[in-house]
Each structure stands twice: as C-alpha cells, then as structure tokens.
Structure 1
Amino acid sequence: MKYIDEFQDPGLARRLLDDIRASVTRPWALMEVCGGQTHTIIRHGIDQLLPEAVELIHGPGCPVCVTPLEVIDKALAIAARPEVVFCSFGDMLRVPGTGKDLFRVRSEGGDVRVVYSPLDALRIARDNPDRQVVFFGIGFETTAPPNAMTVYQARRLGIRNFSLLVSHVRVPPAIEAIMQSPSCRVQGFLAAGHVCSVMGTAEYPELADRHRVPVVVTGFEPLDILEGVRRAVRQLERGEHTVENAYPRAVRPEGNPAALAMIEDVFEVTDRAWRGIGTIPDSGWRLSERYREYDAEHRFPVSGITTREPAACRSGEVLQGLLKPHQCEAFGTACTPRTPLGATMVSSEGACAAYYLYRRLGTAPAARTPQPAPQPPLEASPVV
C-alpha cells in the first residue's frame, strides 16, 4: 500500500538504526509531541531498538488527554440539559470528569451522540430546530480548521441552535512551557507532522534558537520516527539547533493557507488550561467576538464548576514527560481502560493506553532486541 508499506520497511529501519548508532557519542533525550507518534514508538518497540543513549520522552501530544477537567465537567453539565443534543467524537465519552463521564450522562437520559465530523452535528441542528445542538470541539491545530468551518457555515446558513464547546490548544506555547520548566530534560523535539501540515513551520525557528534545541518535523510511520530521531541526534552531536522538515510529503513551510485563513477568521488566541499541567499563556483558541454567539460557554450557565482530580492519578506527570506510564502505582491495577483514572488511559492517543495495549506493564527497563550486523551509514534520508 503506497505510503504505508514503504515506511515500514525492515531493511531501511535497520539502516536508520545503524546510522543513529554510529552517530551517538553521548546520552540524548528527545520528546515526541504527538500521541500518534507515541503509539507508533511503543507498538513497534522503537524505543527498545534505539541505542540506550537515546531516550524518547512522551510529551503532551494527546488532545483528549490535555483537555482540562473543568471543560470536561462543563461538557457533562451541558450534555445533561434536556433541551441539548450533545455531539462528540467517540474518544471523549469515556474521559472521566469529576464523578462521571459522558457515557454515564447518556445512561442517565442525556442525548449524547457520537459523530464523525462537526458537520454531522451541524446537520443534526438543522434537522432539529427545536433542540440546542452542541459539538465538543477539542484538539490541537489539526482539528481547528474543520471546527472553524462548521461555525462559519452555521453563521452563513443562519442555524442559530448550534454551538461549539471549545477546548483547542496550540503546540508551540506548550513547547515553550516545557523548556521553561526547571525539571526539563528535553534536548530535542520531534514535532507533529499533522499540526505542521496546517500551521507550517514558521513558529518553530525562534523556539529552536532561543532554547538551543533541534526541532524535526516528523510523520507517524516507523521510518518517519526513526528518520526524525536520526536528524535530531545528528544535530545534537554537531551542536546545531535548527528546524528540519522530515515530512515533506505532507508539510510545506507555509502550511495550508486556506485552513489558516479560516482559523484566523473564526478563532482568537487565548490562555488555555492543560489537564495535569496548568494554564499556559496564549496556548489555545476561543471563538472570536464575531462568532461569540456560537460559544456554548456563553450560551449555557456553566460557570462556578468545582473540579476534583483523583488523588491516585499521575497523568499530569506523564503528560509533562516526568514519568513513564508503567511507573505510576495505579497503572494496570486501579487504572485500566475499563476503569480509567485519567484521560491518558482512555484516549486512543494516550501514553498510558499505549503502554497498556502493547503490554509495557513492568517497571524494569525492557530488554533490548539483539541487533543485526551494521550496514554502511546513510548519506541521505530515505524518507521522501
């Protein structure tokens, strides 16, 4: 299958690993800023195949996981209202709020529906003019354009019974916050290719230069990850700190101009709380004044909510890269996909879910797979 099989080729993977091994002379710590990349790393054992000197730290790259508890509780309150049809992607329904989740609200009589696009929610609003339809708009820059387009269409078509509960976050301010943390060990970043396919790479050179860390834009297949690691390690060994695009088949420096124009029209930058991390300045979007009437937080009285995180849940430390999931005392016992304490065990991109799914259950370092004989180093990237 084009663009899948080519990027899972074992022979090319061995050559990339040999090249990384030949380049490393000292320990380096890299952070991937995407939950999809985390799942690829754990599923294929990439962290076990890399030289021991290269550590991969899992960052706050799961949009479901970083949605703050207060917003989850607001969603629960809105979804329980009798006049509301609450629409969401399926992975949000099991995310625990304070005391319950959206599945529980639905079992208690709330009209909670799984949709596959925000435009599905807009169609429900058009077909049910006597109901208030709310779409749970979460995510990084990747999902912002379709959510913005849906609000734009609602205004254009005069559909007044539709609103968006917004919890959009932005990656570059999160990287800034990570680098400013006193406990930060990150020396280089694998940036999320899907985010950069929308936003481009213009925001990263200043970050790379200010914090003297390489940033490599990376895809999601095994060879994408290995190529990103290879480039980041080579920069670190040379004392460089630039932005490289290792995902040119999807990412252009300027991003997607049409998507950027839609985001700029509908949203405005705001401070945003990240679950388990706290508030990061200018790290999110909210609906701009022109579209404020479509903001569910303005339409429904959901202020004054008191939240409470489970004391045993350490997902905040996992999201900050301070803790591997299997180092949490509740992992795999009190906290499982069926009985989750935090969103990182629920989401299809959560680090805890990846460790549980692919049986990384022990606290001892995993045994490394014996390596094949080295092959000649690559002179150029095999990834196009």
Structure 2
Amino acid sequence: MKFWLLLILAAFIYAEDIRIRQAEVKLEALFTEEIPKDNPNCGGIEGELDDNCYECYICEDERLKTYKSEAKQLKLKSADCKTVSTVCCVPQENLSTRSGDGTCGKKKTENFISVHGKTQSKSTVRSVLIEEYPWRAWIYRKEQYGDDKVLCAGTVVGERSEVVMTPASCLQGLTSDDVVVSFFKDKNDVTDVRSIINHPSYTPSKKHEHDIALVVLSRSQRAPSWTSPVCLSATPPLPATTCVTISDNNSYISTVVPLPKKCESFNIRSALGQICSVSPLNDYVPQKGEALLCQDELRQTDDIYFAAGIALTTKESVTTYTAVYQYYDWIIDKLNEIATT
C-alpha cells in the first residue's frame, strides 16, 4: 500500500538529547537503505499505514507523550539482516491535540470584554487587549497594586484554570497569604492564592536557575469565566522559530529563537533550565513572567499557542527564559495532584 512517511529529525539538539539523535541518525539510514538484491528478505519496512501523512519517531522519544492518539508501529529491517528497529508513527492531522483538550492556547480575536464599563480598543497596532491572550495574569503583593507594583506576570495552565505559572524568583520570601492574582491589572478584581509550589531544584541563591513556580488559586474565588489555559510544550522550539511575548505596557513583541550556541554565548544554559530569544534592537522588553508563545512549527495556520518559556531577564535584546519543556512532566504531575486536593 502506498503511503507517505515524514520522519522528523532534529537538526539542532541539546546535549542531553545526544542519545536520541544517534538513534534518529540510525533510523534515517534504515529508511534510506536499499533492499539487497541477493537477499530480498533483508531490508525494508514491515507494517502498513494509511494514505495520511505521518510523523515517525523512535518509540522512546519524549515527543510521543504530547500526542493523544495511539502511535502505530513499523519495523525497519537493516540491509544486513542484523537489526530490526521499531518506530512509532502518529498522523500529522493529530498535531493540534498536543498538550491540551482542544481548548488550550486559543487567542481571542474579537468580542472582547469591557473593562471598567468601557469597550476596549487598541491604542497602537501592537497593543494587546485584556482577554486577547486569555491565559495572561499578574501577581501582586497584597495591598500594593498598580502597573508599577506588579511582582511578575503569570500564565494560566491546566484545564481547570486554577494554576498560574510564573518565575519562582518573583515570589522569593513570600507565602500564599502575601500575594494575590489579577486577570485585569485591577486592584478591585483580585483572586486569593491557596498555595505556592516552587520547583524542587530552584534555589534562591542561584537566581534564574530552574526558576519556575506554580501559584494555586483559591477555589472560593474562581478565575473569570473567559480565562483559558495556554498549551504546554514538551519539546523545545526549533531554532529560527518566530514566537511572541508581551511587554509591561501590553505591547506585542515578535522574537526569534536562535541556535542553542547563541544562547550559551550569553551564558544562558539549557543545563540550568534556560532558553533564549532575540528581539529587534531597542524594541520593547518582555515583562518578567510573561510567556514565550510559539505556534507549532508544522501548523502555522492554526492560531494555537504553546508556552515555550517564562521571561526572566533581558540584556542587549536577548531575553532569558525558563525552558518550559524541561519542566513539562513536573507541571503535569502537579496539575494532577492539585486537581485531586
């Protein structure tokens, strides 16, 4: 049966992915080997797929966790008959089901809520309205409100919209009794906090290393009904991916994810749970805690956004982010625990 296979091979990887990359190179060789004429039983592919386009990975690849559909398996036989490798293939049409229930990561484009009884309008082309990215939030110290009093921005994660992701460094020395969350930047519309969960590897003395925390909202004060979570990414954005983030004056920033070695030249290291992006020189600076929002590189027509990073610091137009994909499993585990308590 005729079918198309799309084998996704990571051209740029982090050091901890070397084992995966070596296996992918091996699979690439197996896919391209010619079946020997003197032994037609060696080489080739065992198994069938339908006429859809598929992504195929080695079955241990972490990226398979981000698909809801069950993978189909193929066996690849080497030309010398010494190796049989199994790959897992997922239909490309299911890409949009990654890391969510179909409601995450959807940008609002019209019919925005009124604020203080007034209809919102954009003051500039790059202005971002309340509810446009319906996962945005702001964390304040109690009784200290206003644009200049924001401790950090935050991002709603999880289907129940009761958890806000933010840098742990923003909450250093504070407890859940000290802070509130607003979805309007408005002191008259705040939600109390039930608990703060710092990542176990975060250490205050090592600022911005493994810098991530989850702020759990009070269940007696629900987030506004229009809020919805961002999608979470279990893999890093590919180099040269154009993403967006937002400044403290609610302006849209277009930013590009460079090669890992570019980040390392600014002492931004994957081993410390970090990635980076580069914005135009002298452009707006991302607000600390804002998400680095990227679309799936294979589904650019879909208006679905994944949180690839959490903004920490900016220097010379290069912003350091906490790399969300490195904490994907921890976030999901905590969301599950929170939902049952």
Larger radius of gyration: 2
TM-score, scaled to structure 1: 0.22
Higher strand share: 2
TM-score, scaled to structure 2: 0.24
State the structure with bigger RCO (CA 8 A, min sep 6), 1 or 2.
Answer: 1
